[in-house]
């Protein structure tokens, strides 16, 4: 009986050890948000240098796509961090409301750039 118990333990121990050795989540949503923010800023900075309307439209589509991804990442982060929405209580020490304000300012610039396409 002891031999059987020991053999079962020896068989299952590596499986348990491997499960405990893997980290739960190495994905950092803050890095994703910062990456989307940089991409939008780069696209907005390059907008005026683009000559053709199709290139400008593609630029605007990229901006809107990144803003959508950023909003989705923010929503998921806030949902996972709930109810600690304020920066001082967040496990990520991240200013959610400041980021939302930045996204709105970026969207305003993008919409002004879109208007400039239709004015010509």
Contacts of residue 39, Cβ cutoff 8 Å, sequence gap at least 6: 62, 66
The reported pLDDT for the residue numbered 36 is 93
Q: Is residue 14 part of a domain?
A: no
- The lowest-confidence range among 25-29, 39-43, 100-104 is 25-29
In this model, does residue 41 exceed pLDDT 90?
yes
The reported pLDDT for the residue numbered 95 is 75
Q: Provide the domain limits for residue 40.
A: 27-119
- Residue 23 pLDDT grade (very low, low, confident, very high; cuts 50, 70, 90): very low
d(CA 91, CA 51): 45
Q: For the chain, where are the alpha helices, taking DSSP H only? A: 2-21, 29-46, 53-81, 96-119
Q: Is residue 16 part of a domain?
A: no
d(CA 82, CA 90): 9
Total of domains in the chain? 1
In this model, does residue 51 exceed pLDDT 90?
no
Q: Is residue 69 part of a domain?
A: yes
The reported pLDDT for the residue numbered 21 is 45
Q: Is residue 108 part of a domain?
A: yes
Which is more confidently placed, 98 or 66?
Answer: 66
Average pLDDT estimate for 23-50: 86
Q: Is residue 53 part of a domain?
A: yes
């Amino acid at each position: 009986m002891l031999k059987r118990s020991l053999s079962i333990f020896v068989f299952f121990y590596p499986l348990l050890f491997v499960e405990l050795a893997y980290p739960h989540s190495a994905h950092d949503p803050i890095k994703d948000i910062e990456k989307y923010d940089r991409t939008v800023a780069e696209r907005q900075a390059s907008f005026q240098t683009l000559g053709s309307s199709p290139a400008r439209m593609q630029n605007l589509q990229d901006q809107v796509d990144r803003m959508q991804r950023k909003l989705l990442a923010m929503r998921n982060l806030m949902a996972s961090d709930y109810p600690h929405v304020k920066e001082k209580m967040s496990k990520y020490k991240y200013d959610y409301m400041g980021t939302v304000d930045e996204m709105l300012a970026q969207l305003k610039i993008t919409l002004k750039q879109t208007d400039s396409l239709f004015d010509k």
